[in-house]
């Protein structure tokens, strides 16, 4: 799944196809996010792409206040995926003030303002 434009373009291309892919280092086995050409853990360059499990939880969250005519309030959350990486996202399908630290989520590829993005929803069960 290489992309001549680099790792970020490869990640975004996956999102546009409905996939959340993460890099994993072949030297230390750590998963990596943000996409890059060297492992931030060990400096290795043997990075391969793998589908994310989509399982995770809210690490931190805040509510952004916005007028109703501008779309209303929404949350911005730091999500920790089961693979150990953290990324900024938002949790949809729940009131912004109900997004709490430790909330189990399912991450999925969606869109924000027409741009592919990682979004989350509360995990079922």
Q: Could you tell me the end-to-end alpha-carbon distance of the chain, in angstroms, rounded to an integer?
A: 33
Token pair recorded at residue 57: 């939880």
- Per-residue pLDDT band for 5 (boundaries 50, 70, 90) equals confident
Edge-to-edge strand ranges of the sheet holding 86-89? 86-89, 74-81, 55-64, 104-112, 115-122
List pLDDT tens digits, range 40-80.
999 999 999 999 999 999 999 999 999 999 989 999 999 99
**3 pLDDT more than 70:** no
**109 pLDDT more than 90:** yes
- How many CB atoms lie under 10 A from the CB of residue 96? 20
DSSP state of 88: E
The pLDDT score that the predictor gives to residue 23 is 98
Whole-angstrom distance, CA of residue 67 vs CA of residue 44: 47
The pLDDT score that the predictor gives to residue 2 is 54
């Amino acid at each position: 799944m290489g992309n001549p434009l680099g790792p970020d373009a490869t990640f975004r291309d996956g999102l546009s196809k409905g996939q959340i892919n993460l890099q994993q280092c072949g030297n230390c086995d750590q998963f990596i996010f943000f996409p890059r050409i060297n492992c931030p853990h060990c400096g290795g360059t043997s990075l391969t792409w793998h589908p994310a499990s989509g399982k995770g939880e809210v690490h931190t969250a805040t509510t952004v206040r916005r007028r109703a005519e501008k779309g209303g309030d929404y949350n911005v959350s730091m999500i920790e995926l089961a693979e150990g990486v953290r990324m900024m996202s938002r949790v949809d399908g729940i009131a912004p003030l109900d997004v709490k630290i430790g909330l189990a989520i399912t991450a999925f590829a969606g869109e924000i303002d027409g741009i592919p993005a990682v979004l989350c929803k509360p995990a079922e069960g």
